[in-house]
Structure 1
Amino acid sequence: MQYSMRFVAACVLCVGAIACASPRGAVAQETYWPTQGWRASSPEAQGMDSGLLADALDYVRDHQTPIHSLTIVRDGHVVLDAYFWPFQDGQVHDLASVTKSVTSTLAGIAIGRHELDLRQPLTSVFDRRRIANLDERKERVTIEHLLTMTSGLDCDASRGEITLSRMRESADWTQFMLDLPMRDEPGSHFEYCSGGMHLLSAAITNATGLSALDFARRELFDPLGIGNAAWPADGQGVSHGWGDLRLEPLDMAKLGYLWLNNGRWEDRQLVPEAWMRAAVQPQLARNGHRYGYGLWAYPSRQPPLFEAEGRGGQRISVTPEKNVVVVFTGGTFEPGDIGSFILRAIKSDQPLPENASAAARLATAVGDAATPPHPVSFMSPLASTVSGKRYTLAENPLDLKSFVLTFSGAEAAQVQLELGDRSDPPKPVGLDGVPRVSSDGNSGLPVAVSGRWESESTFLLEYNEIGNINTYRFRLRFSGDEVEVQLSERSRVIPTARFRGTSAD
């Protein structure tokens, strides 16, 4: 459903009507929780300025910011829910490291159910495993140390999170993390450690008998009304504790609303209140440390806020003083650039007069964001020469073995990629400035592919994994039977590289 278009248009028609007003201060959650769906409101009814929110969307357009969605909830009402084509309402998005905050929330629930204890040593949690490099320091590592990323394990976040990469190459990821030697006294030093969050996911599974995904469905997602979720697991059935959870943006906002309400949902305290309050406060008071229990805390900002943060611009940002939850998804951008517009848009703790012209402008901006760009095209004479040829490529960071580009007209083409030992089905390529969307992309997420001739010999192919963070660009320079490839990825998950290929066709 396109909440944004419906509620903005409705409020243009009913300016000043009671239905478009919900005064801040009325305890909305006593009678309404968004379990079955969010209620929408004009920004003005919740003390926000539609014009400034329209300015935010204009900024995105003018700077071609690679944002995928923006959702703003104030006083329990959705005041903006925008989707930026080709990402669409109803699609799940990769949360990246926002997943860590969900894993930590599940640990809090398990603690509230007395299935885990905050200060329980890992040697007790995993008492059936033989742990290497066991010494007195490792025997003092607890669940709390994993939550605060102060375990003291020799976990290295540099070089693209090298420890995480090595963990993923091992046969048993949990055992790999447990066997790491100690580097610091537990609780003394913060080190961003994705593998530690996977160890926390394993602890949840060990304690509950369920994967983190199944435990979440029973104890978190179902109570919140979250049905569309995907979360991969390792070879032992342990959900990836550090990342790869996929949810819809409106469901991400439900998590933020749960945190805003100190772990309470409807008539249930899903997460212990005392644990939740501690989770959103920095837990290591030195060196500017800002990490709570799986959440980043900024108590000195004005206004104070806390948030779940993920690579590429994924955010669930909560500002309790303003009763606001903001959700961003995207393909590598800086949310703070847009966040400044949102902060300025919060004008009052009481309803503002409705503004028909600003509401109409915002509705237009939301509609434009969801609309494909206008078609344009240019076709090189070289297209007929390279069309249908298979180019075999030299070694490269993406492990791209070969590609075939097929041109059949001025508006669309087709590309087939061979990645590692997997040959992707052919994908349509928009040549007219409008990416073509396919539903059978990597890991089941759709992809949008576009291309254009930059010159008679150079073709630029953009492969956008919608719902994910990664957008790959291939600049292909053809010469005879050879091609020079310049590969880049917007979030730098792989290094920029140049390599060559040849065609035997």
Structure 2
Amino acid sequence: MLNTDVSLPRKSPEELGISPKNVIEFLDGLKAHNIELHSFMLLRNGHVAAEGWWSPYAPELPHMLFSLSKSFTSTAIGMAVHEGILTLDDAVISYFPEDLPDVVSSNLAAMQIRHLLMMGTGHDKDTMGALDKAEDGNWAKAFLQLPVVHEPGTHFLYNTGATYMLSAILQKASRQNLLEFLHGRLFEPLGISNPTWQTCPRGIHTGGFGLSITTEDIAKFGQLYLQKGVWHGQRLIEESWIDEATGKQISNGNGGDSDWTQGYGYQFWRCRHDVYRGDGAFGQFCIVFPQYDAVIAITAGTSDMQAILNCVWDHLLDAFLPEPVEEDEYSYNLKSRLQELHLEPPQFEEKSEQEARVSGRIYTLEKNELNLDSLRIEFEQDRASLLLERGEGSHQLSLGRGDWVTIPARLFDRQERQVAGSFTWKTPYTLLLTIRGIETPFCLTYEVQYNDEDSLEIDHRVNVSSAPTDPIRGRASLE
């Protein structure tokens, strides 16, 4: 039985030859650019040197990885290759004879597993939209029906549907889904507990997104790759696979200042500075620095992912020193900064006379893009109880008065996840509700304008979207 330590070992930045001043500058750079991080862990020589969570986010909470899930799917394929379960030369169509189109084009026939891995399937647009719209829920069939415009292997296109196909192929070849396949091979050895992964309508893990694990789990995954697949003396992944998966397999641009044009491997991105990474929407990162024996794991809620990487390059590349250093004034500053990280709930006016007039009233809402049917807020001394009714059910949330209150809810998707909420009065008639899905990148803001006791208007927004939204109007129900 493999000896597993649940937690990574810790040492001070100074012991690991990391400048605390640079880490502070990294934190300052994030703040200056208004980048919302939820957590980060900085590793060197196999030890955690610095780590922080912006409360109400917390170390024990899993976080949605979005496309960082792809790197885990790739890892499963690599393991399956070395176990002889499949090969990279296998034709994709060979696994789905019952789902093929009436006419199989030469490009579709030529598509191999390696082309799925390198995002070189030959499609001219991401297939995920078509998969999601498949009325029968058969995503593999929907994928195979789409035109393959380019010769596979010649054209890069980021294609989440391709990663789903890797998951579907693995399940057919191994008779295990992704979670089952990776459990004893990856998650258990690394001490990754209770990973969850979304599935398609037919129960196949989505592959290209949908995995949720903790920040430290992300860090362990990066450290395993940095160690060329060896964990506690046992090989989990073949070194040749790691070299292949993290190397450039296909061109995705002409380089330059973008970290999305430096080349693509097998579900890993090449970066500037001879670095590679797995990443996911809204700022989920596993960044590996082979030349510095370092890893950075990040979770976030931002639309500007390049800004995060720029802060890493600008401030942390120079943090790696050749020898340990002595503690100085920056050392103590960094310790306090990491302990005090938080996302402050909005705070304007503590109370309003309007509370007594509207507390407990049910407001029926006009048809809206959020599919909300009604809203009710009941105010207490230091909390408010928010009830949102939707066609599929109700969502009951607790909100702190200028503070976070955390409870489990299904507000952000069908899975119950921890949600932190707060409220404050911007004006005597304008109530601001802030709701954070603290296992997700998402933060919802509802600005409730009471026109009088009988009618209201809600402006709403999501932190990672700049798309315009229409206000939601509602009227008090007759009691």
TM-score (norm 2): 0.90
Aligned partner of 2:192 in structure 1 is: 226
Aligned partner of 2:471 in structure 1 is: 498
C-alpha contact 2:4 2:189 (8 A) present in aligned 1: no
| Cα gap change, 1:223 to 1:138, in 2 (>3 Å) | same
Aligned partner of 2:205 in structure 1 is: 239
Aligned partner of 1:27 in structure 2 is: none
**Equivalent residue in structure 2 for 1:354, among 327, 337, 343:** 327
Q: Which moved more, 1:207-216 or 1:440-449?
A: 440-449
Aligned partner of 1:412 in structure 2 is: 383
1:115 correspondence with 2:85: yes
Aligned partner letter, 1:162:
G
Aligned partner letter, 1:179:
Q
**Equivalent residue in structure 2 for 1:436, among 373, 387, 405:** 405
Aligned partner letter, 1:71:
M
**Equivalent residue in structure 2 for 1:386, among 358, 374, 380:** 358
C-alpha contact 1:213 1:231 (8 A) present in aligned 2: yes
Aligned partner letter, 1:85:
S
C-alpha contact 1:50 1:345 (8 A) present in aligned 2: no
Q: Give 1:495 deviation, angstroms.
A: 5.3
Q: Give 1:392 deviation, angstroms.
A: 1.9
**Equivalent residue in structure 2 for 1:53, among 23, 30, 40:** 23
C-alpha contact 1:67 1:331 (8 A) present in aligned 2: yes
Aligned partner letter, 1:365:
R
Q: Which 5+ residue runs of structure 2 have no aligned equivalent?
A: 255-260
Q: Give 1:287 deviation, angstroms.
A: 3.2
**Equivalent residue in structure 2 for 1:325, among 280, 292, 295:** 295
1:71 correspondence with 2:32: no
C-alpha contact 1:391 1:501 (8 A) present in aligned 2: yes
SS across alignment from 1:45 = coil
CA distances 1:58-103 after superposition (whole Å, capped 9, x unpaired): 4556666421111011010000121110011111111111001111
| Cα gap change, 1:154 to 1:62, in 2 (>3 Å) | closer
Q: Give 1:360 deviation, angstroms.
A: 1.9
| Matching of residues 242-321 of structure 1 within 5 Å | 242-285=208-251, 287-288=253-254, 289=261, 290-298=263-271, 301-302=272-273, 304-321=274-291
SS across alignment from 1:234 = coil
SS across alignment from 1:235 = coil
**Equivalent residue in structure 2 for 1:451, among 423, 441, 450:** 423
CA distances 1:364-401 after superposition (whole Å, capped 9, x unpaired): 11211159779875212222222112222223232222
**Equivalent residue in structure 2 for 1:99, among 69, 88, 95:** 69
Q: Which moved more, 1:280-289 or 1:451-460?
A: 280-289
CA distances 1:392-415 after superposition (whole Å, capped 9, x unpaired): 222323222221111123x32111
Q: Give 1:54 deviation, angstroms.
A: 2.9
C-alpha contact 1:33 1:265 (8 A) present in aligned 2: no
Q: Distance in 2 between matches of 1:256 and 1:440?
A: 31
Aligned partner letter, 1:472:
L
**Equivalent residue in structure 1 for 2:451, among 454, 471, 479:** 479
Q: Distance in 2 between matches of 1:110 and 1:118?
A: 10
Q: Give 1:35 deviation, angstroms.
A: 4.1
Percent of aligned pairs sharing the same letter: 28
**Equivalent residue in structure 2 for 1:403, among 357, 375, 384:** 375
How well do the aligned residues superpose, as a CA RMSD in angstroms? 2.5
1:135 correspondence with 2:108: no
C-alpha contact 2:137 2:200 (8 A) present in aligned 1: no
Aligned partner of 1:162 in structure 2 is: 129
Aligned partner of 2:258 in structure 1 is: none
Q: Give 1:156 deviation, angstroms.
A: 3.3
Aligned partner of 1:8 in structure 2 is: none
Aligned partner of 1:192 in structure 2 is: 158
Q: Give 1:420 deviation, angstroms.
A: 3.4
Q: Distance in 1 between matches of 2:436 and 2:103?
A: 43
Equivalent residues, number:
463
C-alpha contact 2:251 2:264 (8 A) present in aligned 1: no
1:88 correspondence with 2:61: no
**Equivalent residue in structure 1 for 2:394, among 391, 410, 423:** 423
Q: Give 1:294 deviation, angstroms.
A: 0.2
Q: Distance in 2 between matches of 1:230 and 1:144?
A: 26
Aligned partner letter, 1:147:
L
Q: Distance in 1 between matches of 2:181 and 2:267?
A: 18
Q: Which moved more, 1:84-93 or 1:174-183?
A: 174-183
**Equivalent residue in structure 2 for 1:152, among 122, 127, 137:** 122
Q: Which moved more, 1:108-117 or 1:399-408?
A: 399-408
| Cα gap change, 1:351 to 1:331, in 2 (>3 Å) | same
Aligned partner of 2:257 in structure 1 is: none
SS across alignment from 2:324 = coil
Q: Which 5+ residue runs of structure 1 have no aligned equivalent?
A: 1-31
C-alpha contact 2:137 2:202 (8 A) present in aligned 1: no
1:176 correspondence with 2:142: yes
| Cα gap change, 1:131 to 1:266, in 2 (>3 Å) | farther
CA distances 1:247-271 after superposition (whole Å, capped 9, x unpaired): 1111111110111122233333322
Aligned partner letter, 2:69:
T
Aligned partner letter, 1:120:
D
Q: Give 1:274 deviation, angstroms.
A: 1.9
TM-score (norm 1): 0.85
